[in-house]
Structure 1
């Protein structure tokens, strides 16, 4: 075989090999995602199944595997439909999943982040009205707070003290945190303004409430944050909002996710985007790294060039 033919054959085989490798990788498609790190493993959950929540695992945030068994099935806990926006956390030696189903909030428990997450009694938080997007924050003093969205003249973010046994909230502590009242938060001038997807962290004794605004179908769906000296507010929105949007991801509908810290102590945000430039579809799961400029209060921003989708091997 001539050198020219050998070179052509090599290039052809290389192209086929690359194509095959690419075909074995798929972008994970979970909306409202969350990542939980425990014992050298990252666990990924999100909205994507009508029957509960799947779980994906990774050791490096790059190579993901979908586990064979779901983390939560509707037969094991509260809810018949609309399983949305899970959050997993560890408390008193057990693993808990807070999630929305039937537009109510429930909390299930497991001995493992893989699940199965179950409830002995299949019931939601008892507060009346429609509620979604739960996030449970444990403060340094051990007190627990349930941040969530209540559907009342728009999607509004509320907080309430959660009882120590996680059985319910203390209704007397329920109060509104924020609602969508700024131009970037309602670019469609909707009569039902949306602020949702809360996630909370504490930096230098200041509380940071990250949230998404606009309807998730809007290409301007985006993420901002507010700060407070108290876990219950009052909250002051950052003047530089939004910090994450299609302007710095290049993807429509960038939002609704969760903060997480890597094994190296780096702060990341996992979120979803629309499936394509022309449609919402099965939303795709992505991450970005966040920077803390070290000021007090800290200014949080997206590190340029860190946006990428999460991939699963077929």
Structure 2
């Protein structure tokens, strides 16, 4: 039985969020993403207490109250120093807005993007001990994933700390043999002594868009890609364009990956939001790998 979304979303349709993320806070799951109905106006949100019944909560970041004029993509929400921060993409740059609630309104006192010399998308903030790292994609010689340390007030990246993590150099990551390779949508978690960098590869319009991971022993790597990649793909879900999501842990401590697929076999957009259960499993040689269970795959759908 598919999970459902109760209430009217934009245009009375289902969420249709690409690049989704789920933020769990005090018993409530908050769902955000790139708005398939209008990605040029800001971000909307849905909430759930059980991951089965979802409610549309309206606009939480609106164009004009924070940086950006178009292309509001790939948000991430975190709780930091008593407030809620949304890192997101707009105009192919990264900005960070703040609110007193996970439902916003997320705004900036000074409307600006992070100061960089290149276009950047797909932010992911990792808080590690007393440092904050920003994983992101730089649009240079392809979509390449980088990391850099941020100021503690999240106002800027420390330029001298920026380092490339990975780029598309494996066969499954560029099935079209495109000159502009794509790795994007990073999520990073730490388990034991290892950091797991989860990412998507191929152009998002490619049916072979899929998810893999790499491991490292520091926030900077060096990163070793898993030989069994991709771990989530068209073969797992039966749907084209499977990828670009976020890993989160539920109230029971189980891991899930929220992501998008193409709308239909012959139609890319608006993309559909889905969930799948994932586990960290030990192999015979003691390696811990990420596995997605295809039996748990399902879309989020509106109740008409």
TM band (smaller chain):
over 0.9
Match of 2:217 in 1: 229
- Output aligned runs, 1:153-302, within 5 Å: 153-294=141-282, 297-302=287-292
Q: Say yes or no: does 1:147 pair with 2:128.
A: no
CA contact 1:206–1:297 (8 Å) conserved in 2: no
Aligned pair partner of 2:22 in 25, 35, 43 = 35
Aligned pair partner of 2:73 in 84, 107, 118 = 84
Q: Quote the Cα distance in structure 2 between the aligned partners of 1:192 and 1:89.
A: 31
Q: Quote the Cα distance in structure 2 between the aligned partners of 1:75 and 1:39.
A: 30
Q: CA deviation at 1:192?
A: 0.4
Deviations 1:38-97 (A, max 9, x none): 0111000000131100011111111111113x1101111001111000000010111000
- Output aligned runs, 1:110-121, within 5 Å: 110-121=99-110
Q: CA RMSD in A?
A: 1.6
Match of 2:96 in 1: 107
Deviations 1:198-252 (A, max 9, x none): 0000111200000000000000000000000000111000000000000010000
Aligned pair partner of 1:310 in 296, 300, 304 = 300
Q: CA deviation at 1:142?
A: 2.4
CA contact 1:199–1:259 (8 Å) conserved in 2: yes
CA contact 1:200–1:207 (8 Å) conserved in 2: yes
Match of 1:65 in 2: 55
Match of 2:33 in 1: 46
Q: Quote the Cα distance in structure 2 between the aligned partners of 1:258 and 1:297.
A: 22
Greater share of residues in strand: 2
Match of 1:55 in 2: 45
Runs of at least 4 residues off by over 6 Å:
none
Q: Quote the Cα distance in structure 2 between the aligned partners of 1:143 and 1:239.
A: 30
Greater share of residues in helix: 1
TM-score normalised by L of structure 1:
0.90
Structure 1's unaligned 5+ residue stretches are: 1-20
Q: CA deviation at 1:27?
A: 4.0
Q: CA deviation at 1:26?
A: 5.6
CA contact 1:26–1:313 (8 Å) conserved in 2: no
Q: Quote the Cα distance in structure 1 between the aligned partners of 2:264 and 2:14.
A: 12
Match of 1:9 in 2: none
TM-score normalised by L of structure 2:
0.93
Match of 1:15 in 2: none
Q: Quote the Cα distance in structure 2 between the aligned partners of 1:99 and 1:28.
A: 18
Larger radius of gyration: 1
